[in-house]
Every structure is written in structure tokens, then in C-alpha cells.
Amino acid sequence: MAPIIGITAGRIRESAQIVRICLIEKYIEAIQIAGGIPVILPVGISKKELHSIQNNFDGFLITGGGDIAIDRFNGEQNPKISDVDPVRDEFEIELARNAFRTDKPLFGICRGHQVINVAMGGSLITDISSQYTNAIKHDWYPEIPRNYEAHSIQVAEKSLLRNILSGADFQVNSLHHQAIKQIGANLVATAFAPDGIIEAVENPTHRFFLGIQWHPEWMLSTPAMVNIFKSFVSASENNHERN
């Protein structure tokens, strides 16, 4: 059977006070193109429940979304912080830590990239434009197409990401206003924007433990971006921990 990939979702509260679990369909499409079976993991799963179901999954994808609560990393308050969901933070941080402990394949995109860093004890810049000197524009949303190639990245040699992408220089989209500040334990930075912002982190000894700041699910017409998902699903396919 194809590998089963657990994909984290967010939640939104509508004007009528109806709470919806939400996930952009592009994540589902990307996993399916890569040969995986996507299963949505809603906000609210407890640590105990996560530990009881984790072996039913071959890999986990932590998706984009709102900002992480600053008390998770002793962050600096900023008026641009928005859409904080402490319950989602709790779940995804535990998911990342557990994946690290069990060598379960883990892929984080945008917020997911930042969750991985915070889970490993790192910190974040809570608003690039006001806290990072000589920053280029990273928050190309909401009026710009989500596949807009906003800036280049430079990928480090001898890294998992370099091996996946088969190259060092790529153009990527950019849909974030926060970024990694202090890198977490057991992580190395393996891609950078022209202004020095960290665009990827990974653990070099793990089966697949990768976070990237851009959104490759919106760039599926680019073979290198599809290959990130294929490599993740392939690593998950080779995971033999599931009962």
C-alpha cells in the first residue's frame, strides 16, 4: 500500500462563531502526485491520542498557517502577529518532537518550517520587515498569485535539500512575515534568501526531517518542487515502523 501521510490542518472561526477545520487543497494534491495517501489531522488531537495513532502513519506534513504563540519561544511582541492558535501549536510541536524521537519522516512548510525550529528549541523573528536589517520583501500576499516567484534561494552543498533539488539556485514564492532567528538544536540551515533569511532547515542524521520556508505545493509545475514531495513520500514509504 502507498504510504499514509498525516497532514496537519488549521481552524478558523467564522462570523457566526462556527469553527471550521481547514486545509488548502494544494497540500492534498501534492502528496497524491508524489504517490502518498493524504489523511487530514485536525486541531485538538491530544498528546495521548497522537502517541496512540502515530504508528498508523508513515510520515507527517506540517502545513502553513497562522503565527506561533510567542511564549513558545520567548518571542518579541509585534502588532503584525495574527491567527495564533495555542492548541494547534501544542499539537504540532509535540508532533515534530515525536517525529524526531522516533525517526519518523517529517516535512514542514512555511509555518511548519517554523514549528520544527521552535520544537527543537529555536526562536523566530516575529516580523521580518520591522526586526531584520536590510530585509527583502517576503510577505507577498494576499494580492499576489501564490505561485509568484518572489526571490532566489541558495541551497547548501552536501545537504538533503541539495540532493533533492539537484541544484543550488532556485526561484521560490514567499508568503510569510516571520522567519527563523536562532536555529534549534540538532538542526542545520541548508538554504538562504539573498538577505540571509533561513529558507530551509534539516537534521542530517534523520531519515527525513526537513523544513522549508516557501510553498512548493503552489509550484507543482516545477519538477524540482514536485521532487521535494516525492522524496518525502519515498522516505515515508521506506518507513517500517507502522504496524
Say if CB 68 and CB 13 are below 8 A apart. no
Alpha helices in the chain (DSSP H): 25-33, 47-53, 86-102, 111-119, 128-131, 160-165, 223-237
Cell numbers representing residue 164 in the block: 533533492
State the residue for C-alpha cell 524521537. Answer: 101
Burial class (CB in 10 A: 0-12, 13-18, 19+), 133: exposed
**Per-residue three-class SS string for 6-68:** EEECEEEECCCCCEEEECCHHHHHHHHHCCCEEEEECCCCCHHHHHHHHHHCCEEEECCCCCC
Say if CB 199 and CB 214 are below 8 A apart. yes
How far apart CA 137 and CA 199 sit, in angstroms, is 14
**Which residues are designated catalytic?**
110, 215, 217
Say if CB 187 and CB 116 are below 8 A apart. yes
Say if CB 221 and CB 178 are below 8 A apart. no
